[in-house]
Structure 1
Amino acid sequence: MLDLSTPYMGLNLANPLVVSSSSLTGNLNGVKQAAAAGAGAIVLKSLFEEQIAAETAALGKHAEQAGHTEAAEYLQGYGKELGPQAYLQLIRDAVKTVDVPIIASLNCFSRDSWSDYAKKMESAGAAALELNIGLLPSNSGQQGRAIEERYYQILHEVKTKVKIPVALKIGPYFSSFGEVAAHLGHDRAEAPAFSVGWCGPGATKTKIVWRKADALVLFNRFYQLDIDIENLELVAGNPLSSSSEINTSLRWIALLYQRVESDLAATTGIHDSRDVIKQLLAGATVVQLCSTLMKNGFGQIERIRKELETWMQAHDFSRIDQFRGRLSQARSQHPANYERLQYIKLFVGLD
């Protein structure tokens, strides 16, 4: 008997195939289809604070145009409370309808909203929470360390407000991603000082008791920008990934396995069973599927699962933990192969 069960952030998953946050999981019908197809867990489409802000601003604008200033302020405040209600109801309905863990997803920009909305999602019944953090360091006057500190503080503030597991979905664009991952992926009695007040004017440094992220989701695929040269305007790039985009997360999963205490979820560029097997061999706890489901439908989950089972049988594995991390750097006799040596071999030709 093959055992595909996988522990993830303290949750018991039937298999490591997780449906990623996307429009596919933005409604109950999509959640039901994902569960019926055999997903190990489902991440709901992200609640974006910008969407709530835009809706409440529109309400306030209509009131202001009618000359009702107080009404505008009231509607904006009301909208901030009402905006998440549809999302919270989706959590409640999903938890009641399917038997797989439901992971809520949150993407905010203001300081207080991260912890406020996280608490509401926990109360609605989410089994875990995925913080989708995508801070674009476009301000040339902002120091890299200040960006990193915002990640640490978001995690700290949410972890102090909720008891359910918390995952961080982040990108690789840091000067030293290994250091950032180490900070996010370890419990510490005393963390490096970071700025209270989000590194703004008057911010003070403090040291805190540090609690790790329960999982690191690697990596966030940010909005792709393109240019229409005929109409001379900005347009959206291809929103779907390809298998060729797997390499960055594959490398870092292999480097971080057994080097951080957090679970590792691989995402972006995972399209078939070969991609899934590669990530598990590198050390991924789970893999998240998105673009491949948009292209091939939810039936792709069952196809990948069956092909994973066939591969396991061919290699005499009965459980995933028998081969998870087998090709990670931590278990390699040639750790340099994961870093500079391969680059030198490719471009210089040294043996």
Structure 2
Amino acid sequence: METLRIGIISRWKATCGISLHAEMLIKEFIEMGHEVIVFAPKLESANRWWHHISLGEDEPYVVRCYEERTPDGKQGRFDITLPELDYVIVESYQWLPHEDVERALRKSNAFKVAVVHEQRRNEFRYRNPYTFNYIAVFDERFAKEVVSGGNVVVIPYPCHPIVRGNRRFAEDKLRFFTFGRQPVEEYKDYIEALDWLSKSYDFEYLVIRSNHPLPFNRPYLVQRVEKLSLEDIYRFLHKSDIHLIPKGQTDGCVVSSTLYQCLGALIPTVVPNTRHFENLPTIEGYKPAVIYDNVEDLKCKLVRIIEDEDFRKGVVRSAERYVEENRCDKIAKRFLELMKREVSVIARS
């Protein structure tokens, strides 16, 4: 395919799955030799949110030019005239000023794709979904629960490529690891289960948060306040034996960008049975992450990961297969192939 000029409308350098999705695609497009422009929210607007701007300076190809919607009903503004582009990808989310974006897209001759991050149908606010050539969803749940109309195509959330560590399981001491800034109550299952586990095992649980420490004091708990780069995250994962991801229940349609960001480290990952993980496939008898239902189930599954090497290896093999099938470079190519599909449809008609 010839060099394309690709625009992406998205959050950028924010601690959320919207930003991560765009950043992974852009990295791949640039490596393919395409020209990119990112249209991101202005910093004042972006910094209002819990998913705040986190790391580094913006690249030269990033233009901060729009205002997000606010929870109190303020519409937000996207009043930019898009330059000449071959392809526009809209990382669509609840607080995007949908009507303004739709108006700008109608004036553009570019090939247009929306990536659905909205969780509910009333958050997907486009008047005419056929403004987009395609609407990309991460799995069929989004097509059934969120999107109304349009040409819908399933393209899974991309995974960070595999980066292998050289640690043997619990080679010096059993080590658990969590990073991020989830609400405190979402850690309680892990603390309760590890309190019980500490009666039989010697281990360390390292928690790195970007805002403030957890209000727990345990002999096994080690806490740091630090903002981690992706390289930092993988460095800590490779020093650990089990990755614990806290997530709360939601009735919305969601996936976990943290899981897809981290599976490539190939260490066992434990997650709660929430909607974030309900669509994970079973591969050769195992899911890519260990899903628990309640604290008692969590205790049993932690012991099984620790004691049952075959189970542990099966989970890691499943994760490896899943990552290889959904690597970010493969997902980026699938977005570009949509253009070929459209050309083929036009040619047949």
> What TM-score does the superposition give when structure 1 sets the normalisation length?
0.32
Q: Of the two structures, which has the highest relative contact order with CA contacts closer than 8 Å and spacing of 6 or more?
A: 1
| Richer in helix (by share) | 1
> What TM-score does the superposition give when structure 2 sets the normalisation length?
0.32
